[in-house]
Amino acid sequence: MTDPFLAIEEAMKQAGFDMDNIPQENFDEHVWADGLALWWLHHERLPTALELAEEMFDEWDDPVSTDEAQRILDYLKVNA
């Protein structure tokens, strides 16, 4: 069976964003992969920090601050 997230992650990488850049300890704290991948699937872009924080709260019942969301978004940039 093919992992549906692989295509999303590849599209993100092609656009210059890589979830592998998120340090493991930060990655494991919340459901970032699900939130980011499904946002990308629906919008074909990354969310803003506010959008990501709202998505994590509303859709994943995993509240994060906008500051924390921005740190994660900053990690995603390839060659930043």
**What are all long-range contacts of 51-56, with beta carbons under 8 Å and residues at least 24 apart?**
56/30, 56/31
- The pTM assigned to this predicted structure is 0.88
Greatest extent of the chain over all pairs of C-alpha atoms, in Å: 37
27-31, 57-61, 63-67, range with greatest mean pLDDT? 63-67
Confidence of residue 2 (pLDDT cuts 50, 70, 90): confident
Band of residue 16 on the pLDDT scale cut at 50, 70, 90: very high
Q: Which residue range forms the structural domain that includes residue 43? A: 4-76
Structural domain total, the chain: 1
pLDDT tens profile 18-54: 999 999 999 889 999 999 999 999 999 999 999 999 9
